[in-house]
Amino acid sequence: MINKKIMIDRVYKQLAIDYNCSPDDFLKEGLIFTEAKQNEGRRPFPWITPRLEMVTMGNGVVINASTDILPLVYQQLEGKTRYEA
Protein backbone atom coordinates (compact mmCIF):
# COMPACT_ATOMS: atom_id res chain seq x y z
CA MET A 1 0.00 0.00 0.00
CA ILE A 2 1.28 3.44 -0.93
CA ASN A 3 1.37 6.11 1.75
CA LYS A 4 0.13 9.67 1.27
CA LYS A 5 3.59 11.32 1.19
CA ILE A 6 4.84 8.99 -1.56
CA MET A 7 1.67 9.59 -3.56
CA ILE A 8 1.93 13.40 -3.25
CA ASP A 9 5.64 13.29 -4.20
CA ARG A 10 4.75 11.33 -7.35
CA VAL A 11 2.07 13.88 -8.24
CA TYR A 12 4.56 16.76 -7.82
CA LYS A 13 7.10 14.94 -10.02
CA GLN A 14 4.55 14.29 -12.79
CA LEU A 15 3.24 17.86 -12.71
CA ALA A 16 6.84 19.12 -12.88
CA ILE A 17 7.36 17.12 -16.07
CA ASP A 18 4.05 18.30 -17.53
CA TYR A 19 4.66 21.98 -16.72
CA ASN A 20 8.45 22.13 -17.25
CA CYS A 21 9.36 23.07 -13.70
CA SER A 22 10.83 21.64 -10.52
CA PRO A 23 8.66 19.69 -8.05
CA ASP A 24 9.74 22.26 -5.44
CA ASP A 25 8.20 25.09 -7.49
CA PHE A 26 4.74 24.02 -6.30
CA LEU A 27 5.78 24.72 -2.72
CA LYS A 28 7.18 28.20 -3.38
CA GLU A 29 5.17 31.33 -2.72
CA GLY A 30 3.98 33.42 -5.64
CA LEU A 31 3.86 32.84 -9.37
CA ILE A 32 6.38 30.68 -11.22
CA PHE A 33 6.55 31.24 -15.01
CA THR A 34 7.73 28.40 -17.24
CA GLU A 35 8.05 27.82 -20.97
CA ALA A 36 5.81 25.09 -22.37
CA LYS A 37 7.81 22.11 -23.64
CA GLN A 38 6.96 18.59 -24.68
CA ASN A 39 9.16 16.92 -22.06
CA GLU A 40 9.71 13.20 -22.16
CA GLY A 41 7.30 11.53 -19.75
CA ARG A 42 4.61 14.22 -19.97
CA ARG A 43 1.04 13.04 -20.05
CA PRO A 44 -0.35 12.69 -23.60
CA PHE A 45 -2.71 15.65 -23.68
CA PRO A 46 -3.16 17.39 -27.05
CA TRP A 47 -0.37 19.88 -27.78
CA ILE A 48 -2.01 23.11 -28.93
CA THR A 49 -0.32 26.47 -29.43
CA PRO A 50 -0.53 29.13 -28.37
CA ARG A 51 -0.67 27.44 -25.00
CA LEU A 52 -1.40 28.79 -21.53
CA GLU A 53 -1.92 26.61 -18.48
CA MET A 54 -1.98 27.50 -14.79
CA VAL A 55 -1.79 24.94 -12.02
CA THR A 56 -1.66 25.25 -8.27
CA MET A 57 -0.93 22.58 -5.73
CA GLY A 58 0.73 23.78 -2.59
CA ASN A 59 1.62 27.43 -2.07
CA GLY A 60 2.27 28.94 -5.47
CA VAL A 61 0.98 28.91 -9.02
CA VAL A 62 2.95 27.51 -11.94
CA ILE A 63 2.08 29.38 -15.12
CA ASN A 64 3.13 27.52 -18.25
CA ALA A 65 2.93 29.28 -21.60
CA SER A 66 4.22 28.79 -25.12
CA THR A 67 7.24 30.86 -26.11
CA ASP A 68 5.23 33.16 -28.38
CA ILE A 69 2.94 34.40 -25.59
CA LEU A 70 5.09 33.97 -22.48
CA PRO A 71 6.30 37.61 -22.43
CA LEU A 72 2.71 38.90 -22.66
CA VAL A 73 1.52 36.51 -19.95
CA TYR A 74 4.40 37.58 -17.71
CA GLN A 75 3.61 41.26 -18.31
CA GLN A 76 -0.07 40.74 -17.43
CA LEU A 77 0.52 38.67 -14.28
CA GLU A 78 3.80 39.98 -12.87
CA GLY A 79 3.35 41.14 -9.27
CA LYS A 80 -0.07 39.51 -8.85
CA THR A 81 -0.91 37.15 -6.00
CA ARG A 82 -2.00 33.58 -6.55
CA TYR A 83 -5.57 34.72 -5.92
CA GLU A 84 -5.36 37.48 -8.55
CA ALA A 85 -3.88 35.20 -11.20
Residues near 64 by Cβ (< 8 Å), separated by ≥ 6?
19, 20, 21, 34, 35, 36, 51, 52, 53, 54, 55
Nearest-angstrom CA–CA distance, 16 and 4:
18
Beta-strand pair 31-35/52-56: unpaired
Q: What is the pLDDT, as a whole number, of residue 2?
A: 78
pLDDT per residue over 18-76, tens digit each?
Answer: 999 999 999 999 999 999 999 999 999 999 999 999 999 989 899 999 999 999 999 99
pTM for the structure as a whole = 0.89
For 5, the 3-state DSSP assignment is helix
Q: Give the domain ranges of the chain.
A: 4-77
